[in-house]
Amino acid sequence: MPISTATRHKVKTVESFGSDEYQKRFKCALFNVAELPFRAQLLRSTWLKNVTFIISALPHRQELSALEMDTDNAAVQDLILAAENVSEIKKYDMLALWKFTSANKKVFPEGNGMSSASVSSLQKLWFATNAIDRGILTREWAAGNCISSVMKTDAGTNAGGGNKTDRNPDYTHTLDTLDVEIALATMPMDFDIYNFPASIHRRAKEIVQKKESPFKEWSAALRKVAGILDYSRAAIFALIRGATSDIHHFPVSLQTYINANLTEHKHDAPSAETLKKLVMFHMPPSLWTL
């Protein structure tokens, strides 16, 4: 249980007393956590259940020292090694350090076989991410979506991008690449949406650059949808090509249509219903088995 401020002011730390006097008179003398070595702060923060800034004296100091020296404890050693490679972490106060270690525990629960490389990657991203977005970063990593940054929609919500989709796994999908896909979907030609000709790709980029309609209206609406980057390319094409040709003239109707029809359960495996809508667009034959 956290110790109140009033109580904390009444308690002298063990530094105020000689060792003999401590042994005789004090069983629960306290150290100031902020004055401990960095590794002790890190380990203490990792196993804290509440934010406190004092620590039981010798017993806990000895436990932390033993934990730090336990080379057989891979989780502890990986955490220490990763932290030592991220200089920013040592600049933070105890509250910020506690927030980080709490995030670390959510992403890498004890016993999950985390590696120092993974911990180091999360640490660098966590400190490079705006404080307001760190919750999103932690949640995505904890879910197995190791995103490299938190992308926002034009409305300020999480744009997604961490889930597997039907796109090439080496393809970096952003709101800008989404715009190109939207432009492609508004074009009347039939083509393989996973292997479109260079000429069509160039035309799509031109549409984006010139902000032509109906691309402009579709883009404005879809770029505000939370998690939009998690939807498959097939879902985006099916949504746009399944709408009436003039719906972009009516913003309320367009948004209502998107809310009702942009649904998908497996982003990396478009549904049979979605694929049926796309057969006319020369989908690869391997995807025609419905």
Number of Cβ within a 10 Å radius of residue 288 = 11
Residue where one domain finishes, among candidates 32, 48, 69 = 69
Supply the pLDDT for residue 127: 83
Supply the pLDDT for residue 187: 93
Q: With 90 as the cut, is the pLDDT of residue 181 above it?
A: yes
| CA distances to 3, 45, 103, 116, 257 from 49, in Å | 13, 8, 13, 23, 46
Supply the pLDDT for residue 201: 96
Supply the pLDDT for residue 285: 44
- Co-location of 48 and 130 in the same domain: no
Residue where one domain finishes, among candidates 51, 69, 87 = 69
- Co-location of 36 and 102 in the same domain: no
Residue 49 structural domain? 1-69
Supply the pLDDT for residue 13: 43
- Co-location of 51 and 79 in the same domain: no
Mean pLDDT of the 81-92 span: 78
Supply the pLDDT for residue 189: 85
- Co-location of 180 and 192 in the same domain: yes
Please check whether residue 9 lies inside any domain of the structure: yes
Low-confidence winner among 15-24, 61-70, 96-105, 135-144 (lowest mean pLDDT): 15-24
Mean pLDDT of the 167-190 span: 92
- Co-location of 215 and 252 in the same domain: yes
Supply the pLDDT for residue 23: 52
Please check whether residue 280 lies inside any domain of the structure: yes
- Co-location of 64 and 91 in the same domain: no
3 state SS for the chain: CCCCHHHHHHCCEHHHCCHHHHHHHCCCCEEEHHHCCHHHHHHHHHCCCCCCCEEECHHHHHHHHHHHHCCCCHHHHHHHHHHHCCHHHHHCCHHHHHHHHHHHHHHCCCCCCCCHHHHHHHHHHHHHCCHHHHHHHHHHHHCCCCCCCCCECCCCCECCCCCCCCCCCCCCCCHHHHHHHHHHHHCCCCCCCCCCCHHHHHHHHHHHHHCCCCHHHHHHHHCCCCCHHHCCHHHHHHHHHCCCCCHHHCHHHHHHHHHHHCCCCCCCCCCHHHHHHHHHHCCCHHHCCC
- Co-location of 29 and 118 in the same domain: no
Residue where one domain finishes, among candidates 69, 101, 116 = 69
- Co-location of 78 and 62 in the same domain: no
Please check whether residue 155 lies inside any domain of the structure: no
Answer with the residue of higher pLDDT: 164 or 246: 246
Mean pLDDT of the 119-146 span: 85
- Co-location of 62 and 97 in the same domain: no
Answer with the residue of higher pLDDT: 135 or 76: 135
Please check whether residue 166 lies inside any domain of the structure: no
pLDDT in tens, 203-227: 999 999 999 999 999 999 999 999 9
Please check whether residue 37 lies inside any domain of the structure: yes
Please check whether residue 168 lies inside any domain of the structure: no
* Token pair 């530094």: residue: 15
Q: Is the pTM of this model over 0.75?
A: no
Please check whether residue 82 lies inside any domain of the structure: yes
**Nearest to 220, CA basis, from 193, 182, 261:** 182
Supply the pLDDT for residue 224: 96
Supply the pLDDT for residue 180: 98
Please check whether residue 270 lies inside any domain of the structure: yes
**Domains: count for the chain:** 3
